[in-house]
């Protein structure tokens, strides 16, 4: 792919093209906005353009050729450890796990990336390796360091990165990517040129899905479920596990509605057990356990939002239209739906940095709140 194939957030693509054309680029960037809208993809595509050996001048503006040796080294679809561009490094929790495994391995070929589990944080080691790479001369036009989920940098790693940002090496760009930029060290944030991403309008996702050959009905349901996260929709096209994930969601919603004190532990166990099963079927960076957990909570929030809409009788706003009979059954009290939405939001915060709460425990608290919301 190239910049012309990027879907949504046209303002960001336009801005980067304009800046590239102008030539003098800020050395540190912060790409922020909702998850799964293409922040990391655009960072990789921009890195591609910056080093492309025969960039194209298209109607839309500058673009990479996507064919030269430099371009072929980079693909947003590849995991971080499989990117082979000598001047572009993607640092993420998977890469941190990879580096750790390489250091521990006796033979270089011993590391099996399929068995890696993403780290919970980006530690000092990640930044040390980046600094080591930057200490060598390069013949490439730009060196680009992309730090995905930059909010996961530890205190120590943040301090090391800050030092590098304050003495920036020549022709080197840092792109920090984050869905929760407020959790990034404020001094680092202040050094970065911000670029904000937005959710992608449903009509754009709908036409993308139809162009990929989905029926109107399927495309409409998926576009609604994606809630503006185009990356989720694209992933759903090639990976049907979202259907199982949805069944799982439906079971959990059912349990939440009828929750009794005896079910608290069972609910938390069922919620987190489903994630482990998904993981054993071959883990990818995007489908890591934490990401699944966040998506599960986002899914539950969407369900309770639907319950709220159903309780007011505004069916047009309901996303999970195929679950309408069940949603109507639950929708007796809007107050309960509002309470559950607030509690889900809290659980979501708890499991993310800087708190990183134990998922089992977080879901137990959620279960207790589900019972209390029914009692009131
Ligand atoms: Zn190229």
Distance 35 CA to ligand 1 centre (A): 28
Is 239-375 the same fold as 3-196? no
Cα(82)–Cα(216) distance, integer angstroms: 36
Distance 364 CA to ligand 1 centre (A): 51
Distance 187 CA to ligand 1 centre (A): 35
Distance 54 CA to ligand 1 centre (A): 5
- The total of other beta-carbon atoms located within 10 Å of residue 89's CB is 20
Distance 69 CA to ligand 1 centre (A): 7
Q: Where are the domains of the chain?
A: 3-196, 239-375
Q: Give the burial string for 291-320 (b: 16+ CB within 10 Å, else e).
A: bbbbbbbbbbbbbbbbbbbbbeeeeeebbb
pLDDT digits (tens, 9 = 90+) for 21-71: 998 899 999 999 999 999 999 999 999 999 999 999 998 899 999 999 999
pLDDT confidence bin for 306, thresholds 50/70/90: very high
pLDDT of residue 106: 83
pLDDT digits (tens, 9 = 90+) for 77-130: 999 999 999 999 999 999 999 999 998 888 877 888 888 888 888 999 999 999
pLDDT confidence bin for 281, thresholds 50/70/90: very low
Distance 75 CA to ligand 1 centre (A): 12
Q: In the chain, pLDDT over 70 holds for what percent of residues?
A: 95
Q: Considering just the CA atoms, what is the radius of gyration of the chain in Å? A: 22
CA separation, residue 181 to residues 150, 167, 185, 193 (Å): 8, 22, 9, 13
Distance 77 CA to ligand 1 centre (A): 17
CA separation, residue 355 to residues 107, 151, 152, 191, 311 (Å): 36, 12, 11, 25, 34
- CATH number belonging to the domain at 3-196, selected among 3.40.50.300, 3.90.180.10, 3.40.50.2000, 3.40.190.10: 3.40.50.300
Distance 74 CA to ligand 1 centre (A): 10
- CATH number belonging to the domain at 239-375, selected among 1.20.272, 3.20.20, 3.40.50, 1.10.1200: 1.20.272
In the 8-state DSSP scheme, what is residue 322? G
Q: Helices (DSSP H) in the chain: which residue ranges?
A: 10-22, 39-51, 69-72, 93-104, 124-134, 155-166, 186-191, 202-211, 216-226, 230-238, 241-257, 264-280, 289-311, 324-330, 334-351, 359-375
pLDDT digits (tens, 9 = 90+) for 210-230: 999 999 988 998 999 898 999
Distance 86 CA to ligand 1 centre (A): 14
Paired tokens of 220: 């409409």
81: three-class secondary structure by DSSP: helix
Distance 3 CA to ligand 1 centre (A): 12
Beta bridge partners of 221: none
Distance 140 CA to ligand 1 centre (A): 13
Paired tokens of 1: 């792919």
- Tell me which residue of 193, 329, 140 sits closest to 250, measured CA to CA: 329
Maximum average pLDDT range among 258-267, 276-285, 325-334: 258-267
pLDDT of residue 274: 55
Q: In the chain, pLDDT over 90 holds for what percent of residues?
A: 67
The secondary structure of 250-293 as a DSSP string is HHHHHHHHT--GGGHHHHHHHHHHHHHHHHHT---STT-HHHHH
């Amino acid at each position: 792919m190239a910049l012309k194939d990027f879907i949504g957030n046209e303002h960001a693509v336009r801005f980067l093209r304009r800046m590239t054309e102008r030539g003098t680029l800020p050395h540190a960037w912060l790409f922020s906005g909702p998850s799964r809208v293409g922040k990391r993809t655009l960072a990789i595509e921009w890195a591609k353009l910056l080093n492309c050996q025969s960039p194209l001048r298209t109607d839309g503006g500058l673009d990479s050729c996507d064919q030269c040796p430099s371009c072929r080294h980079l693909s947003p679809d590849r995991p971080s450890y499989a990117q082979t561009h000598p001047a572009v490094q993607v640092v993420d929790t998977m890469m941190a796990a990879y580096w750790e495994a390489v250091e521990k391995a006796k033979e270089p070929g011993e590391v099996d990336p399929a068995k890696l589990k993403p780290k919970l944080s980006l530690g000092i080691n990640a930044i040390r390796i980046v600094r080591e790479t930057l200490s060598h001369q390069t013949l490439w036009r730009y060196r680009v360091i992309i730090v995905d989920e930059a909010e996961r940098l530890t205190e120590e790693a943040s301090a090391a990165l800050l030092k590098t940002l304050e003495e920036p090496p020549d022709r080197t760009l840092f792109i920090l990517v984050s869905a929760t930029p407020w959790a990034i060290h404020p001094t680092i944030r202040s050094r970065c040129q911000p670029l904000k991403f937005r959710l992608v309008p449903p009509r754009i996702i709908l036409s993308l899905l139809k162009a990929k050959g989905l029926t109107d009905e399927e495309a409409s349901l998926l576009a609604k479920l994606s809630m503006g996260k185009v990356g989720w929709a694209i992933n759903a096209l090639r990976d049907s596990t979202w259907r199982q994930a949805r069944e799982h969601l439906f079971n959990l919603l059912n349990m939440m509605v009828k929750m009794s004190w005896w079910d608290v532990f069972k609910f938390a166990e069922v919620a987190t057990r489903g994630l482990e099963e998904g993981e054993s079927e071959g883990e990818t960076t995007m489908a890591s356990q934490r990401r699944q957990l966040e998506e599960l909570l986002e899914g539950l929030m969407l369900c309770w939002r639907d319950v709220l809409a159903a309780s007011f009788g505004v069916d047009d706003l309901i996303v999970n239209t195929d679950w309408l009979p069940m949603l109507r059954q639950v929708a007796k009290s809007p107050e309960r739906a509002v309470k559950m939405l607030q509690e889900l939001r809290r659980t979501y915060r708890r499991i993310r940095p800087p708190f990183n709460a134990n998922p089992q425990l977080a879901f137990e608290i959620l279960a207790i709140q589900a019972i209390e919301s029914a009692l009131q």
